[in-house]
Amino acid sequence: MKKKVAFYTLGCKLNFSETSTIARSFADEGFDRVDFSEEADMYVINTCSVTDNADKKFKTIVKKAQKINPDAFVAAVGCYAQLKPEELADVDGVDLVLGATEKFKITDYINDLTKNDHGKVHSCEIADADFYVGSYAIGDRTRAFLKVQDGCDYKCTYCTIPLARGISRSDTLENVLKNAADISEQGIKEIVLTGVNIGDYGKGEFGNKKHEHTFLELVEALDDVDGIHRLRISSIEPNLLKNETIEFVSQSKAFVPHFHIPLQSGSDDLLKLMKRRYMTNLYKERVEKIREVMPNCCIGVDVIVGFPGETEEHFLETYHFLNDLDISYLHVFTYSERDNTPAATMDGVVPNKVRSKRSKMLRGLSVKKRRAFYESQLGNELTVLFEGENKEGYIHGFTENYVKVKSPWNPELVNTLHEVKLTEIDADGLVRFEFVNEKIEA
C-alpha cells in the first residue's frame, strides 16, 4: 500500500507555492497526496509567523490531524518553524520540525514515519539560507502561484521575515520562464507572481548580490510566454514599483490591471519608525501614475494599525490619507509584537482595545472602497476567469481587474474565460453580469 501524505498551509501565496513543491517531492518518493481532512500516514503543516493568529492556529491544526489519525507522523515546516523550532517541537503530537533550508529536503528526514516521543528539530542558522529553491503551486486552482524570489534585505522594525527566510535572492530568469511554460502546458489560465519582496527580483540570481536582471525585465520576458492568458503581480513595494513597470503593464498582452502595494501607515512619522523605504508622497505618486495609465486598475493596500507610537492623530492621518486615495480595497493587519524585532521594545504601546477599534474602522473603509470600485465598473465589458468551486449553488470568478462576480453554478464554466458585461451588485457585495459572447477559449 502506498503511504498517504496531507498538507496544510498557513499564511501567504509564497507558502502555497512552496507547499506544492514539497508535495511533488513526496510524489517522487511514491506517496499519494490526500486532503487534510482525510486519514493520512503523515501530515505536513507549513507555518507562518506574520501574525499571532497563525501561531495559535498551528496547535489547532495539529489536534485536527491527531483526531483523524492519532498514529500519523506530523511535521512542521516554514517560517514559524525557523523562528521558534523548539516551541513547535514541544507541541503534543509534533514529530519533526524543519527550518528554512531543510524543508525542501523533508523526505530525507522522515525514515519509516515512526512517531517520536518529542519533536526532532533540524534548523539551520538563517545566514545559511542563501540558496534558491524555485517553486509553483498548482492543483485544484484555476491559477498558479509562481515563486520568483525569496528572502528580504529590508529591515522593517516590525517584521520577522528576514529572520525566517534569510537574504534576498532570486530564481534565474531561465528557470522562471521554464516554470511558467510548465504551468501553461497544464491548462492553467492565470499565474500570480509571488515572493517575499518581488520588486527586488534579480538580486542573488547567481548566488551573490550581482544583478543580472531586473523586475521589469522579468515582467517583459514573462509577457512573451505562450499560452498564459493572465499574469498578476501579487504584492510589490511602492519604492520598487517603477513607472516603467506600470507603463509596461498598461500595454501588456498578459499582465492584468491589478496591483497590491503595501503602505503600512499613512503617517510619515510612523513610516520612519517602521523603517519603510518611502514616504506617503511617493506612495500617492504611484497610485496617481497607475490611475493615469490604467483608470480601471484595481489597487489593493496593506496597512498596519496599532504600531507602537501610533497616536489618535497618526491613525486619523492614515484614515484620511486612505480615504482620499483612489484605491480599491485594504488588507488591514492589527499590529502584534514579534520577538526579536525592534518594534517589540518600542515605547508608546497601543492598548489592544484601541488596536481593535482602529482595525474595525479601516475594515469599514475597505468595504466602502471596494463597493465604490465595483460601482465604477458597472456597465464595463470585462473578461472573467471562472473558479472551480460550487459555493451554495453559485460559481464565482474574477475579472482581469479583480472584480469578484457570481452566477448560478455551471460546471462547464470552470477554468474558462468569458467576456461579460457587469450589470449590478448583489446583496452579498458580489457582482452580477450578462455574457457578451461565447467563451473566449476552452
The reported pTM is 0.85
Instruction: Report whether pLDDT(72) > 50.
Output: yes
Cell of 120: 526532532
Query: Looking at this protein, which amino acid is placed at residue 36?
Result: F
Cell of 156: 522593517
Half-sphere exposure of 55 (CA within 13 A, CB side): 15
Cell of 288: 496617481
pLDDT for 378 equals: 98
pLDDT for 14 equals: 84
pLDDT for 242 equals: 96
- Mean pLDDT, rounded, of the chain: 90
Q: How confident is the model at residue 442 (pLDDT cuts 50, 70, 90)?
A: very low
Question: Contact at 8 Å (CB) between 139 and 325?
Answer: no
Pick the more confident residue, 364 or 79: 364
Contacts of 113 (CB under 8 A, 6+ apart): 3, 41, 42, 73
pLDDT for 137 equals: 72
How many whole angstroms separate alpha carbon 251 and alpha carbon 112? 54
Q: How confident is the model at residue 257 (pLDDT cuts 50, 70, 90)?
A: very high
Q: How confident is the model at residue 364 (pLDDT cuts 50, 70, 90)?
A: very high
Instruction: Report whether pLDDT(302) > 50.
Output: yes
Select from 348, 249, 237 the least CA-distant residue to 301: 237
Half-sphere exposure of 363 (CA within 13 A, CB side): 9
pLDDT for 139 equals: 57
What does DSSP say about strands 136-137 and 120-122: parallel, antiparallel, or unpaired? unpaired
- Across 95-104, 132-141, 282-291, least confident range: 132-141
Question: Contact at 8 Å (CB) between 59 and 22?
Answer: no
| pLDDT tens, position by position, 108-154 | 888 778 888 788 888 666 566 556 666 777 655 678 989 999 999 99
Q: How confident is the model at residue 440 (pLDDT cuts 50, 70, 90)?
A: low
Q: How confident is the model at residue 102 (pLDDT cuts 50, 70, 90)?
A: confident
pLDDT for 275 equals: 97
Question: Contact at 8 Å (CB) between 415 and 187?
Answer: yes
